[in-house]
Structure 1
């Protein structure tokens, strides 16, 4: 299983919604992919984060760092070449990263979800 598949499945398993993967290779020399997902509440936000961490560890992938743990409505997981952004609804709408990076290609995540 690829790292991206691992992340997307882990998010979907914990009921993340609106999962989007953006190919950032043309825009960033540091990472290749943004994965964005929405959690309906703070408890689910942390459950999704935990699910991603656990799935990556089980599949031999490393988490380099995590930002936004305390009372945050946005958690960032640095997986090296993939950066995951997990938002609560209002936070995702406010930052609107999809619009910011609208010129970057999207990756098909639907095929990764059971």
Structure 2
């Protein structure tokens, strides 16, 4: 079982990478907002891949005894949000990611290198 949020963020990163997610970014929000400690943002080139990545993240975290608190976007598969409380996972279709540009909206949040977690 994973002991801390940073280890869970690494698990999410690996689950996204396993399904060939692109441009994976980890934003640290803990000193900026109380919404979450981290946003993990990734892109996919098709709706099918968006869903596959989200499903893989859920599966890998369930294996650790961690369950999603809220999810949204499963119907359209253009932007799936998985809310785990301490962190949120945003899986975007590439076009939606460019449109919503969360990294710009949260520009004050530092990027975290997955190796440093």
Structure 2 length-normalised TM: 0.90
Residue 85 of structure 1: CA displacement?
0.5
Q: Which consecutive segments of 4 or more residues in structure 1 shift more than 6 A?
A: none
Q: Which runs of 5+ in 1 are unaligned?
A: none
What residue in structure 1 maps to residue 76 of structure 2? 71
**Selected match of 1:41 from 34, 39, 46:** 46
Within 2, Cα distance between the matches of 1:3 and 1:62?
Answer: 11
Would you say the 8 A contact 2:50–2:77 is kept in 1?
no
Q: C-alpha separation between the residues in 2 aligned to 1:12 and 1:51?
A: 10
Indicate the RMSD between aligned Cα atoms, in angstroms. 1.3
Show structure 2 runs of 5+ residues with no match. none
Equivalent residue of 2:85, what SS?
A: coil
For 1:99-110, list aligned pairs within 5 A.
99-109=104-114
Per the normalisation by structure 1, the TM-score is 0.92
2:63 alignment partner in structure 1? 58
